[in-house]
Amino acid sequence: MTAPADIALRFDTLRALRAERPEAVREAHAERARRDVIRGDGRLFIVAADHPARGALAVGGEADAMADRYRLLERLTEALRHPGVDGVLGTPDIIDDLALLGLLDDKVVVGSMNRGGLRGASFEMDDRFTGYDVRSMVASGIDFAKVLLRVNLADSGTAATLEAAARAVTDAADAHLPIMLEPFMSRWVDGRVVNDLTPDAVILSLAIAAGLGGSSAYTWMKLPVVPDMERVMAATTLPTLLLGGEGGDDPDETFASWEDALALPGVRGLTVGRTLLYPPDGDVAGAVDIAARLVHPDL
């Protein structure tokens, strides 16, 4: 995938602004055209790009696929230009880059809060809040918050993560800031954390996450697409975005599973990252277009 000439020139400007005018980041956020989170058909298609900050750079068999920031920004540019993409999820470094590039107008911007549970670290389950906090999101005009919540009943690090997540939910509700929780039941397997994607485990993680914080008024769920999604969605009244995950070997099968799950009551849309930004055939625009039309059939 080759970047258009205008993008390469804008990267020059981006580097200059970061070095010479750091206040341009604040100005870019203040000047961007904002939108209502829910509008039109009431559904959301969010592209996720918060993986690098947790040390998760691999896509498929390519260990450092997300290491090249310019390559990632090129792919995000391609995705955000699609009218069916409602917004983007990222850590401050990525969101600030996109703001400086002028790519966030009329988009829902989702701030990723906890990235401290680094992939493969001994402290991975103590998933510290090292990204956005509610105060900084409100100050920057971020529209939505996101929290990863992996629950490992055999690892005491989970307790600190649960407490911090509950505090984030309370703070977000006080600020009238929507916040999506991405819960998993997790366990250690051969030195790495593995998420349990059985329906029973997803339902259990959902039950734990939904009760966090002093108010659920602004809480959303971000849930993986698993077998028996009807039973999963029957476990909550909270608005839910589907997690696209890494996808499988058959893109058609992946898209079909999303389409079925999007038809369920309570499902409000889709949040996908690597599956669309790094598709097997390299066609970012094509993959994004298919997913956008699943979320917004009237496009």
Lowest mean per-residue pLDDT among 108-112, 122-126, 219-223: 122-126
User: 165-202 pLDDT, tens per residue?
Assistant: 999 999 999 999 999 999 999 999 999 999 999 999 99
- pLDDT, residue 247, reads 60
- pLDDT, residue 9, reads 77
CA 8, CA 107: separation in Å to the nearest integer? 22
- pLDDT, residue 250, reads 79
C-alpha torsion sign, points 15, 21, 24, 25: positive
Residue 201 domain boundaries: 5-295
CA count, 13 A, side-chain hemisphere, 42: 7
- pLDDT, residue 2, reads 46
User: 116-129 pLDDT, tens per residue?
Assistant: 999 999 999 999 99
Determine the average pLDDT of the residues in 99-120.
96
What is the DSSP code string of 206-219?
Answer: HHHHHT-SS--TTE
User: 47-93 pLDDT, tens per residue?
Assistant: 999 999 999 999 988 999 999 999 999 999 999 999 999 999 999 99
Which residues have C-beta within 8 Å of that of residue 17, sequence separation ≥ 6? 24, 25, 100
Which H or E element spans position 193? Answer: strand 192-196
Mean pLDDT of the chain: 95
Q: Do 147 and 165 form a contact (C-beta atoms < 8 A)?
A: yes
Q: What number of other Cβ atoms are within 10 A of residue 33's Cβ?
A: 8
CA 142, CA 138: separation in Å to the nearest integer? 6
Read off the pTM.
0.95
Which H or E element spans position 81? Answer: none
- How many residues comprise the chain? 299
Which residues have C-beta within 8 Å of that of residue 32, sequence separation ≥ 6? 99, 104, 105, 141
Q: Which CATH number do you get for residue 243?
A: 3.20.20.70
Q: Do 50 and 146 form a contact (C-beta atoms < 8 A)?
A: yes
> What's the number of domains the chain is made of?
1
Q: Terminus-to-terminus CA distance in the chain, angstroms?
A: 26
For residue 248, what pLDDT band results from cuts at 50, 70 and 90? low
CA 205, CA 149: separation in Å to the nearest integer? 9
Burial classification of residue 4, based on how many CB atoms lie within 10 Å of its CB (0-12 exposed, 13-18 middle, 19 or more buried): exposed
| β pairing state of 240-243 and 179-189 | unpaired
Q: Do 203 and 209 form a contact (C-beta atoms < 8 A)?
A: no
Instruction: Output 227 or 245, whichever has higher pLDDT.
Output: 227
pLDDT at 42 over 50: yes
For residue 101, what pLDDT band results from cuts at 50, 70 and 90? very high
- pLDDT, residue 252, reads 87
